[in-house]
Structure 1
Amino acid sequence: MTGIMDSRPVRDEHGNQSVGELVGQATEQLSQLVRQEMTLAKEELAEKGRRAGKGGGMIGAAGAVGYIGLMALAGTGVAALSLVLPVWAAALIVTAVLFVIAGVLAAMGRAQLRQATPPTPERALDSVKADVDEIKERAHR
């Protein structure tokens, strides 16, 4: 005995790997799987963050257009009092169009925010559950 351990894989007479090697491989594969699942979760959360940003921006735009609509409505009131019909009617039409735009932007922003919540990586969680089920199934075999 020389005191130096042999680093070659231990195999039986049929060429199969030892239990220690199999455990080592399983540990390595499990850590790689966990890293991949974490990467998937980060990507999914980033996507939801982008959707939340878009939704918030659209709601902000809806607020801005709504504010412009209120100013146009005030102009409509002034025009209605100062002139008889043609000017305020045109101003009222412009005001209505601005409010319709604000409503559409608000609805689109709300839809974007709904798609972004809850901020959980659903696909990654499903993938982890499938991995756990697969490991359990193989362990029972």
Structure 2
Amino acid sequence: MTTARDNTNGSGLPPVPSIPLTAESAASIAGETSIGGLVRDATAHMSTLIRAEVELAKSEVAGELKKGVKGSVYFIVALTVLLFSSFFFFFFAAELLSVWLYRWFSFLLVFLLMLATAGFFALLGVRKVKRLRAPQRTIDSARDTVAAIRHRGDGH
């Protein structure tokens, strides 16, 4: 078996196990290898192929994740600007109410409205958090797997 480390191309990608792709004649394979050796080689090549596929998937996911994080920075900046600009909206609302009410009362009213809104969303958040449960099926499955491995180890 060879690895991509043996065949580096300078791309900076992590080494990935690979299966040799050299052409061998059927006569030389039959003369040099037993059936058990062929099965062993096929198993090793299959294992290498699966590991290579997993490594490829991991590297692709990592690359896409990096792009996603870089893109999300723009959303964070936009939300930050929106958050800071909301101050001016509430100031505007208080000034608008001061046309009909005392100025101090209009600011108090806007402040109380903001507190009530924050309290409402905090209540919704608390209700959602209280509904969180442990992943019981996963925990049970892991316990069953550990118990099966221990039981199997005791039998040998």
- Shorter-chain TM-score bucket reads 0.3 to 0.5
Q: What TM-score do you get using the length of structure 2 for normalisation?
A: 0.38
- The structure richer in helix per residue is 1
Structure number with higher relative contact order (C-alpha < 8 Å, ≥ 6 residues apart): 1
